[in-house]
Amino acid sequence: MPFCAAGWCSRSEGAGSSSSTPFHQALCEDAGPAVQTRLHARAFRLLHAKGLDDEAAEHAVRGELAGDPEAIHVLEASGRTALSTGALGVAAERLGAAVELAGQRATPDLLAALGHALLVHGRTAASLAVWDRLLAQEDLSPTARIQALRIKGLAHASTADHERAALAYGEAARLAEPDSSELAADILVDQALVSWLSGGPARSLPLVSRARELAGDGTGRVQTRVAAARGFTAWMSGDPDGLDATTAAAGPLVIDPLSDVADLCAGLPSTLAMYATATSLAERFGDSERAARVALAAAEQLGAAQTTAWFAISHSYTLYRMDRLTEARGFARRAEELSEFFPMIDPYLACAHASLDLHLGHEAAATYWCEQTEQRACPRDEWLALLFAWDCQGHLLFRRGDPAGASAFYERVEAASNRMGLGEPCLAPWARHAIAAYLGCGRTGDARRVLAWLERCAARLPCRWPRIAIASGRAWLAEQDADRSAARAHFDVALELHEGVQLPLERIETLLDYGALLRRSGEPRSGQRSPGRSSPPGGGSGGGLAGNPGCGGIEGVRRPPAAADRRAHPAGGAGRCGGRKRQTQCRAGQPALGLGQHHRDASRPHLRQTGPPLALGARGEEGSWARNQRALRDHGVP
């Protein structure tokens, strides 16, 4: 064998052992660049002739074999194999090298494979450049053009460019419909499920309804996916039948999650993601956690960074609702390290941190994350993220004894919820806090309006949280009417409802509110005893209100006593609504609250801007988690 005869490797190692010391020295130390290139080219041919294509691919990259059909074929095959096994970095490198060697003769299939690898690896800008190059080919086949437009839509959605995503998806569906109505339906499902984050069911439900018309009846993959997507969006709009459709579609995928997350065309709109979210909101936390964990493991096995990040954020919210705050923070950190590559994730990651910090008593940090959410979400019209941030900020202001300021936020939460067509009140559980804030500043009519909306939702949906919020709202209204026995009865109903669901943080709020009522009624001993159990059922992480130092049951509430009293006693907050008007502008003149404008006075120097804020998704060499911690310290947040 030539290599062995030249003394570059021992015969026992063979030609495939390019790591042997003499061979390595000959290529990397003794030979010049031109000689090294020729030796790599010769090594490629020898290894390829022996059928050792994986080793040959490394030499093809370094051998500068431009235009060589064999080298291009080996690199493409090696890249596709790496892509199918989840070695995304290797796949992007090999496929990129194949495209470089092919030059202008790169085939559409090769370009499409590279675009796939770059997108799923998180290199969205490079992926978009590949799809643009492919779509510029006038002789591109209709099938390849449709696929390119479809994945380009997902790439634009990954950067939160909703307008370009809609254009790409719409054109792909238009081209597909004459020859394949099923393909057109599948594309519309993609569009619906990436657009609902910004537009809610109001935007996505018409798309999945059209997809159902195109897909027709049947039990095939497309029909099942369409049924799951329509069920999910219908559930979010308040249709209870939607959950059954999503559950039926997701059942087999929980057993075989790779078949769900391995489909790049699914990308963000994964069936398991829909199922995990819907079952979490339906308070079926065991089902939600099981689906999220198997899907996360599958996504990580494949190296699908974007899917991993979305599942981590979604599951963090489920754990937060279950009072497993330490675990929730861990999943948020996992998503944060991946947010470098996917700007669309940033606002929702900030929301996760805000909610966690709020319930851990870190109010300055929660305020910081709310500000970050608005900075990221407003320019992109990410209304769902804004809804979460405004709820959090309203909650913060109410805790601080400012029900009027909180009510201003909840006006906008209501408006955003209505424009998105949301009918699932558990998605962002703002209604309970809104009722309290409205009553706290004498806006009884507004409180009754929110309560009526909750009652309509609860009449349709199986989840218990809306009924708990309704009972609390009725208790506050009964106390306002001086019927404190009725108020106590309503709180008793709320506590009974808590017995059947694992919502520890919400139960603590109910206990605190009930205790405040008893205290105002002159029953301090009853209030100190805390009606019902004083600790969350099933344990919990101890990281919520009940686990904070100084939070000893009802009397340890972290909001000012005056604010606690005003929740159910609007006379205490009368006249507050005539206070400051605080507004800023979102995109295209849309009204929004200036999260960064509240109370920046001498009493809160830690929230002043000392320079340009560090954006959540700012790019740099340090990791996202470390960078955001530094930003918090720069804002005076310990």
pLDDT digits (tens, 9 = 90+) for 167-222: 999 999 999 999 999 999 999 999 998 888 888 999 999 999 999 999 988 878 88
**Helix 403-420 and helix 383-399: axis angle, to 10°?**
160
Which tens digit of pLDDT belongs to each residue from 6-27? 344 443 444 444 444 455 555 5
Reduced to 3 states, what is the DSSP secondary structure of residue 86? coil
H-run or E-run covering 54: helix 53-62
Q: In angstroms, rounded to a whole number, what is the distance separating the alpha carbons of residues 154 and 190? A: 8
Phi/psi for 176 (5° steps) reads -80, -30
DSSP 289-318: HHHHHHHHHHHHHHT-HHHHHHHHHHHHHH
CA-angle at 477, arms to 476 and 480, nearest 5°: 90
Q: Integer distance in angstroms from the first to the last C-alpha of the chain?
A: 67
Q: In angstroms, rounded to a whole number, what is the distance separating the alpha carbons of residues 533 and 508? A: 10
Dig out the tokens for 333 from the structure: 């950190």
Confidence of residue 581 (pLDDT cuts 50, 70, 90): very low
- Arithmetic mean of pLDDT, 105-110: 91
DSSP H stretches of helix in 592-635? 624-634
CB atoms closer than 10 angstroms to residue 482: 8
Amino acid at 327: E
Q: In angstroms, rounded to a whole number, what is the distance separating the alpha carbons of residues 453 and 348? A: 26
Dig out the tokens for 504 from the structure: 């520890």
Q: Which of 77-86, 243-252, 342-351, 623-632 has the lowest mean pLDDT?
A: 623-632
Q: 592 forms bridges with which residues in the sheet?
A: 584
Give, as one character, the DSSP assignment of residue 27: I
Phi/psi for 584 (5° steps) reads -140, 180
**What's residue 85's pLDDT?**
75
Delineate the domains of the chain, giving CATH numbers in brackets: 381-599 (1.25.40)
Q: Is the pTM of this model over 0.75?
A: no
Which tens digit of pLDDT belongs to each residue from 406-465? 999 999 999 999 999 999 999 999 999 999 999 999 999 999 999 999 999 999 999 999
